[in-house]
Amino acid sequence: MTPEDMKVFVETFSLNRCRLGNQGYNRVLIQLFGYLGHGKSAFINSCKYVLGGEFRIHAEERNANGALSLVRRSYRLTDGVALVDNRGLPTADWNEVGLIYAHLGNLISLEQRIEWPGNYNDIMTWIMNNDLIPNYTDFIVPVLIYSVTMTASESEIATLRTLLENAEQLTGIKPFVVLTHKSRGGLTEVRSIFEDMGINYIFQVENYTQGNHSRVRATHEEILKFLYEVLKDVECRMETRRNPLQERIDRMKFILDFAHKKEMEMERGRNHALQQAQQRRAREDRRCSIM
């Protein structure tokens, strides 16, 4: 398929034209997630540029501490497709990861700034309060944005694998991966990491920026290919019967289960630390009594 054909397919895509109709979905929500500074906002600007004409800054780059990125912002691509700039992960702390999962699960309203609560009971209450008017009409596609300039250690690779596996379990779709800063070295090594994880769709781009947005055919074609493959995957999945309300309920259960498990892990860690402290005090008391 030519780039022109892919562009037409993306621009005219409609869930209503799927064989079984839209099945209760109103739009495709391409959910971008990943670490701070890896190029999510720049990728959104690049996608808008490829489909729209003149280059403009639609999504602002986040600052170093991620202060702006607690808000999920959506950016319309077509009548039936939107990109979402979810919060960037500053660390792999479980609270940070939990908030990312809540974003991916579409359990937090768009354009809403919110902090992830600190314990399981607060999280459960928060989710229930935010689910009074549930949104289950978005068909969610998870997309990890990852910069090839980042050298990942073995532990970081393991964390990435868990993040991707949970994103798949949460959404029912194996995440797409977009590698950014492809010309800065490390592309082959980073790509092989995700290939080893069994990722089916990996794309590589050098994002357009305010200072460098001269049209590059390879960049335009890669972004069009990304959008085309995402929507072809959606079209394929819409060939079977789906229940968007049940999918949202399942996502909520996943988040609550994740929060509960992490709370139990933390509780076990606190109890272990307390036991160790008590044992140290007991040994010190015995030494004092001997003296």
- Taking residues 259-273, what's their average pLDDT? 75
How much is the pLDDT for 133? 60
- Taking residues 153-174, what's their average pLDDT? 92
When pLDDT is cut at 50, 70 and 90, the band that residue 83 belongs to is very high
- What are the CA-CA distances from residue 57 to residues 44, 49, 219 (Å)? 9, 9, 17
- Taking residues 133-159, what's their average pLDDT? 88
What does residue 261 show for φ and ψ, rounded to 5 degrees? -60, -45
How much is the pLDDT for 256? 84
By residue range, what is the domain housing residue 202?
3-290
Number of domains into which the chain is organized: 1
196 or 118, higher pLDDT: 196
pTM score, whole prediction = 0.86
When pLDDT is cut at 50, 70 and 90, the band that residue 65 belongs to is very low
How much is the pLDDT for 92? 62
How much is the pLDDT for 117? 61
Distance between CA 91 and CA 156 in Å, rounded? 11
Statement: residue 120 has pLDDT above 70: no
What does residue 46 show for φ and ψ, rounded to 5 degrees? -65, -45
Torsion of CA 93, 96, 98, 101, to 10 degrees: -120
- Taking residues 212-225, what's their average pLDDT? 95
Q: What CATH number corresponds to the domain at position 117?
A: 3.40.50.300
- What are the CA-CA distances from residue 158 to residues 6, 56, 155 (Å)? 35, 37, 5
